[in-house]
Amino acid sequence: MPEKPIICLAPGDGIGPEIMSACLSIFEAAGVQEHLEFREAEMGEKVFKRGDSRGITDEAMEALERSGILYKGPMGTPIGGGGKSINVTLRKTFGAFANLRHFRTLPGVDTVYSRAGMNVDLYVVRENIEDTYGGIEHRLTNDVVECKRLISAPGCEQVHTFAFRMAQQLGIRLVHCAHKANIMKMTDGLFLERFRTLAEDYPDIETADVIIDALCMNLVLRPNQYHMVVLTNLQGDIVSDLAAGLVGGLGFAPSANIGDQISIFEAVHGTAPDIAGKGIANPTSLLLSGLIMLRHLGMAKQAAVIENALLHTLESGVHTGDVKGETAPVGTREFAEAIAKNLGKAPSSIPAKPIPDSDRPVSYRAPERPQTNRLMRTFVQTEGLVCGADMYIDTRLPPLELAQRLQAICADTPFTLTLISNRGTQVWPTGSIYTEIVDYFRVRFELRDKNQIGRFGQLPTITLLRKVAEKFEITDFQPLKMYDGQPGYSLAQGQ
Please list every residue from 91 through 110 that binds ligand NAD, using CB under 6 A. none
132: three-class secondary structure by DSSP: strand
Closest approach, Cβ 159 to ligand NAD, in A, equals 19
170 close to 200: Cβ distance less than 8 angstroms: no
Question: Minimum Å distance from CB 335 to ligand NAD?
Answer: 10
Of 198-206, 225-233, 279-287, 333-341, the segment contacting ligand NAD by CB under 6 A is 279-287
Q: Which of residues 312-341 bind ligand NAD (CB under 6 A)?
A: 322
77 binds ligand NAD (CB under 6 A): yes
Near ligand NAD by CB under 6 A: residue from 250, 264, 447, 464: 250
**Least Å from the CB of residue 102 to ligand NAD:** 16
Which residue stretch of 158-166, 230-238, 268-276, 304-312 sits at the interface with ligand NAD (rule: CB under 6 A)? 268-276
Cα–Cα nearest to 259, from 87, 151, 365, 129: 129
In angstroms, rounded to a whole number, what is the distance separating the alpha carbons of residues 261 and 368?
A: 7
**How many amino acids of this chain bind ligand NAD (CB under 6 A)?**
21
Instruction: Measure CA of the first residue to CA of the last residue in the chain; give whole Å.
Output: 68
- 8 A C-beta contact, residue 161 and residue 198: yes
Roughly what angle, to the nearest 10 degrees, separates helices 332-341 and 16-30?
A: 10
Subset of 370-399 contacting ligand NAD (CB under 6 A): none
Q: Are residues 110 and 248 in contact, defined by beta-carbon separation less than 8 angstroms?
A: yes
Question: Of the two residues 77 and 128, which places its CB atom closer to ligand NAD in the complex?
Answer: 77
Q: Is 87 in the site for ligand NAD (CB under 6 A)?
A: yes
Of 204, 274, 368, 412, the one binding ligand NAD by CB under 6 A:
274
Q: Considering only residues 152, 235, 263, 271, which one is a binding residue for ligand NAD as defined by CB under 6 A?
A: 271
DSSP 43: B
**Can residue 308 be called a binding residue for ligand NAD (CB under 6 A)?**
no
Q: Please, which residues have CB within 8 angstroms of residue 52's CB and are 6 or more apart in sequence?
A: none
18 binds ligand NAD (CB under 6 A): no
Backbone angles phi, psi at 69, to 5 degrees: -135, 130
CA angle 29, 33, 37 (to 5 degrees): 155
Strand order from edge to edge, sheet including 384-394: 425-428, 415-422, 441-447, 384-394, 473-483, 486-487
Among 24, 75, 215, 391, binds ligand NAD (CB under 6 A): 75
| Site for ligand NAD contains 275 (CB under 6 A) | yes
Cα distance between residue 296 and residue 263, in whole Å: 9
Closest residue by beta carbon to ligand NAD = 270
Give 99 or 105: the residue with its C-beta nearer to ligand NAD. 99
CB atoms within 10 A of CB 115: 8
Please report, as ranges, the residues that interact with ligand NAD according to CB under 6 A. Answer: 15, 19, 74-77, 87, 250-251, 266, 269-275, 281-282, 285, 322
